[in-house]
Amino acid sequence: MAAAGGQKRNAMQRTSEPKFDFLEELRVVPNVMIVVAAVVFVAAQVGIHWLFHRDPHPPNGDVQIAIGFFGGSVLAFFTLLVGYVNRDAKRRGMNYVLWTILVLIIPNAIGYIIYFVVRQPIRGNCPQCGTTVNPTFNFCPKCKFLLHPACPQCHRSIEVGATFCPYCSADLKMLAPEARS
Ligand SMILES: [Zn+2]
Ligand SMILES: [Zn+2]
């Protein structure tokens, strides 16, 4: 039973969410935010060294450079993340203005955690009419194209156009011709 549930979930994930590719995700970040992140990094170096300059007992030079580099990297990373959330929320059909503001104002990066927990799946297009569809839809709301066919015998998700169910070997053409459309 547990194995069957796992297989079903895998099948759902394969159709709704492409596998995570870090470089592919990085491309979502708008170029302007990459420039902003670089500026933030440089500004952090200046700011941190200015603070050390005012400190009557500053740490030695190597420690200053390390703190500056680390602090700048963290700030630059969060700048990129703001850009990512902005574009990612948009392509998922979420309120991207609201989410950009939320991740910026909620302290301790909690806004990002909430975002990654609640974000909607990436929307795709209906293979038949091109309408933007939510991956949880079973049918295209415009042309009724069957987006997620299920085996009529074992009710597991199957691929569009399959002739036989890969789980129970049911003949899909015989059982439900419309499942192959
Ligand atoms: Zn359609
Ligand atoms: Zn089946």
Q: Where are the domains of the chain?
A: 18-120, 123-181
**Environment of ion ligand 1 (residues, CB < 5 A):** 126, 128-129, 131, 140, 142-143, 145
SS (H, E, C) the chain: CHHHHHHHHHHHHHHHCCCCCHHHHHCCCCHHHHHHHHHHHHHHHHHHHHHHHHCCCCCCHHHHHHHHHHHHHHHHHHHHHHHHHHHHHHHCCCCHHHHHHHHHHCCCCHHHHHHHHHCCCCCEECCCCCCEECCCCCECCCCCCECCCECCCCCCECCCCCCECCCCCCEHHHHCHHHHC
- Give the pLDDT of residue 87: 93
> Ligand 2: distance of its center to the CA of 170 in Å?
5
Q: Report how far residue 32's alpha carbon sits from residue 36's, in angstroms, rounded to the nearest whole number.
A: 6
Which numbered ligand comes closest to the C-alpha of 129?
1
- Identify whether the C-beta of residue 97 lies closer than 8 Å to the C-beta of residue 89: no
> Ligand 2: distance of its center to the CA of 144 in Å?
22
- Give the pLDDT of residue 58: 84
- Give the pLDDT of residue 114: 94
Report residue 5 as tokens: 């549930």
Q: Report how far residue 167's alpha carbon sits from residue 144's, in angstroms, rounded to the nearest whole number.
A: 25
- Give the pLDDT of residue 19: 66
> Ligand 1: distance of its center to the CA of 123 in Å?
13
- Give the pLDDT of residue 9: 42
Query: 91: closest CA among 27, 159, 163, 34?
Result: 27
> Ligand 2: distance of its center to the CA of 164 in Å?
8
In order along its 181 residues, the chain shows pLDDT tens digits of: 444 444 444 444 444 455 678 888 888 899 999 999 999 999 999 999 899 999 898 888 889 999 999 999 999 999 999 999 999 999 888 899 999 999 999 988 899 999 999 998 888 888 889 888 887 788 899 998 888 888 888 888 888 788 899 999 998 887 655 544 4
> Ligand 2: distance of its center to the CA of 128 in Å?
24
Q: Report how far residue 80's alpha carbon sits from residue 18's, in angstroms, rounded to the nearest whole number.
A: 22
- Give the pLDDT of residue 17: 53
> Ligand 2: distance of its center to the CA of 172 in Å?
8
